[in-house]
Amino acid sequence: MAELIITEKPSVAQKIANALADGKIESNTYNKKVKYYKIKHGKNIIYVASAVGHLYNLAEKNKQGWTYPVFEVEWKPSYEINKASSYTKNYLNAIISIAKKCNSFCVATDYDIEGEVIGYNIIKYACKQKDARRMKYSTTTKEDLKESYDKALKHLNFAQTEAGLTRHTLDWWWGINLSRALTLSIRNATKRFKVLSIGRVQGPALKILAEREKEIKSFKPVPFWQIELISDKFSAWHKEDKIWDKKEADKILKKTKNKDAILSKIDKKEFKQSPPNPFDLTALQLEAYKLFNISPKQCLEIAQELYTNSYISYPRTSSNQLPETIGYKKIITALSKQKDYTKICNYLLSKKSLKPNNGKKKDPAHPAIYPTGEIPKNLEAKEKKVYDLIVRRTLASFGDPATRETLTFEIDVNKEIFIAKGTKTIDKGWHEIYGKYAKFEEVELPNLNENDKIKVKEIKLHEKETQPPKRYTPASIIKELEKLNLGTKATRAQIIDNLFERNYLNNKSIEVTDLGLKTVETLDKYCPEILDPNLTREFETDMEKITQNKKKSKDILEKAKSSLIKILNKFKKHEIKIGKELIEANDETVEQENTVGPCNKCKDGTLMIKYSPKFKTRFVACSKYPDCKNTFSLPRGLPKSTDKKCPECGFPMVTIIRAGKRPFDYCINKECPKKLEWIKQQQTKSSVTVVHEKKS
């Protein structure tokens, strides 16, 4: 007999086979579609087979159609639940087939809650076992994988498994029951079938975003004035900063006109700026968005790929600490072989000791994200950026503090005080290591002494207005969710993505649609518990306690079931009112999304994106059809209206979204004078973002 090692992804299965094989690797294919490996390790025969994420998912037990509440669930093969998961069938059958040849089993999925659930379900349902050995690793390098196998844990992490199974059940209960409640409220109120959905974390996340949107929409700007002193070499601002009374501002202006300006006080302070902490996932996502405009979701996908290829450690971590056990000197020595980092690494290796500036956040499963030292090959542009950022952040955490200096001038103009502030770096320290990512404001003030007379060119009055709060970005909302303990490090980006897909949000700087606002307003009015972050946060804390063996799944699920029944009973009482309000908001949102602009022919109509079921195509047509038959064809893809106008002809533009391809802006005008030139550019340059259709 033999042992079966189960991995989470095919690429990791191959890496483990390569790491453990004493000799030749026997590569096999199940059903001509799924690869698995047979190797010899010492005296053992080992099969290495792969899952592709979750091979089992929750489904309703004894399905009774569209009704709620529903609490009876069971784990079933993913391909039986969802047609989109049909590709998982061969992977599952391959494992079932190999398991029959084995008497020992080892789970080597990612060492986190989701990985534990994936491995546990395969061991239980596919392999018909109660337990297995467990590999625990944070990088997929050959050395770490071999050590992980040789020191494999004797049992699965059942506390992590229990927490993961509980989370899946809670999310399923909330998602199915609340989504059915919303959908059926519309059907029962209007006889229309429109699927709406909400989730355990999505509801509170949407409310956070909607509250910010309401603040922005209700914001009323308030005027204020600022007074600037402009000299030859610097500017200073009146110490009051914002002056809310114009008469007061005019009074100061009059008082300081043509008066001497004396440098009455100089305050110089030097301070040490500590190196940055190593990256946890959220910090990496925030930095990648700020520096490269890479979305949190894409950042995680890139980091996962870098991890799978053994270039970095496991990215789904909450820790910003690097333990000594990872081997600081070994990693930095390996990185020194990459020419971009040779100089930095040699400097660090010359230090008497190596100690990173660890943060306070911990993760029981994995350390902070760090590079393994393996040399990357064939990285795409964004992968190079994220990899370089991780390397430099890790190395910078070992650097020396930077020394910076602040200099403050107080300037007296007829008893009115103006303040000038400067900041400069005295000793770059870790800035040198972090390189172009260490962006800090440098404002140098001239070398002056107290009581020096300042030559004033102008004292200027600026009239301004208060600004509304900024909308969340995909990165800042993830930071907010983490602060509120909503969702997990691995799911937060997907939660926001789901809100976009469900038409609750639009735009890069997150704007809540009328449907999103109305959904929150309606649920807040009739059933606010659905959006309550406190309840969600409480369950997150409960699941953390499961991993610590301080609580049991059964007790948490009973509490959750009781809470959900109360929520649904309350919802049912207001079902008709909720349904009417939600469908009205949905219709308004759909109309807004499909509005392209005013008709250029009849002037009374509006150009709208339409869909032809007969030809299965989308096009733009006038809302006054058939009186106005103005139409425009659209290229293949999903069109989205924009507020952009063609810079050449002034016609409206729509964004065309195609699966797996970069979205582009499209001018609807058949007669645009630049259409042939731009079509040629589109064919030859992938960077072109504006194309025009050929004349039909």
DSSP output for 250-270: HHHHHHHTT--EEEEEEEEEE
Interatomic CA distance for residues 49 and 36, integer angstroms: 5
Instruction: Provide the edge-to-edge strand list for the sheet that holds 235-238.
Output: 453-454, 261-273, 402-413, 416-427, 235-238, 223-231, 456-465
DSSP letter at 84 equals G
Q: DSSP string spanning 199-244?
A: -TTHHHHHHHHHHHHHHHHH----EEEEEEEEESS-EEEETT-SB-
pLDDT of residue 662: 73
Give bridge partners of residue 105 from the DSSP assignment.
4
CB atoms within 10 A of CB 674: 16
To 10 degrees, what angle do helices 281-292 and 381-396 make? 120
Which residue, chain included where needed, has tokens 């999304």? Answer: 593
Interatomic CA distance for residues 462 and 227, integer angstroms: 6
Interatomic CA distance for residues 229 and 360, integer angstroms: 43
What the block records as the tokens of 353 is 């000791």
pLDDT of residue 683: 59
To 10 degrees, what angle do helices 328-335 and 381-396 make? 140
User: Residue 253, class by beta-carbon neighbours within 10 Å (0-12 exposed, 13-18 middle, 19+ buried)?
Assistant: middle
User: Count of residues for the chain?
Assistant: 696
CB atoms within 10 A of CB 29: 11
**Residues catalogued as catalytic:** 314
531 φ, ψ to 5°?
A: -105, 5
In the chain, the amino acid numbered 303 is A
pLDDT of residue 677: 66
Delineate the domains of the chain, giving CATH numbers in brackets: 2-156 (3.40.50.140), 167-217+471-586 (1.10.460.10), 223-274+402-465 (2.70.20.10), 281-396 (1.10.290.10), 599-692 (no CATH)
pLDDT of residue 377: 93
pLDDT of residue 366: 95
**Residue 253 CA to its chain's centroid (Å):** 48
pLDDT of residue 694: 37
pLDDT of residue 660: 64
> Using DSSP, how many helices (H) and how many strands (E) does the chain show?
21, 25
185 φ, ψ to 5°?
A: -65, -40
**Residue 27 CA to its chain's centroid (Å):** 37
* SS3 label, residue 271: strand
pLDDT of residue 600: 86
Please, are residues 402 and 270 in contact by the beta-carbon 8 Å criterion?
A: no
CB atoms within 10 A of CB 348: 21
Nearest of 512, 510, 520 to residue 477 by alpha carbon: 510
Pairing of the two strands 664-667 and 652-657: antiparallel
What the block records as the tokens of 190 is 């209007």
DSSP letter at 530 equals G
Give bridge partners of residue 47 from the DSSP assignment.
4, 38
Low-confidence ranges of the chain (pLDDT < 70): 660, 674-696
pLDDT of residue 696: 32
Interatomic CA distance for residues 319 and 111, integer angstroms: 14
Nearest of 215, 200, 209, 213 to residue 531 by alpha carbon: 200
Element (H, E) at 56: strand 56-60
User: What is the pTM (predicted TM-score) of this model?
Assistant: 0.86
pLDDT of residue 656: 85
pLDDT digits (tens, 9 = 90+) for 362-403: 998 899 999 999 999 999 999 999 999 999 999 999 999 999
Interatomic CA distance for residues 402 and 430, integer angstroms: 6
pLDDT of residue 6: 98
* SS3 label, residue 44: strand
Nearest of 306, 387, 362, 321 to residue 139 by alpha carbon: 306
Interatomic CA distance for residues 680 and 690, integer angstroms: 11
226 φ, ψ to 5°?
A: -130, 145
Nearest of 209, 219, 295 to residue 515 by alpha carbon: 209
Pairing of the two strands 617-622 and 606-612: antiparallel
pLDDT of residue 686: 45
pLDDT of residue 591: 83
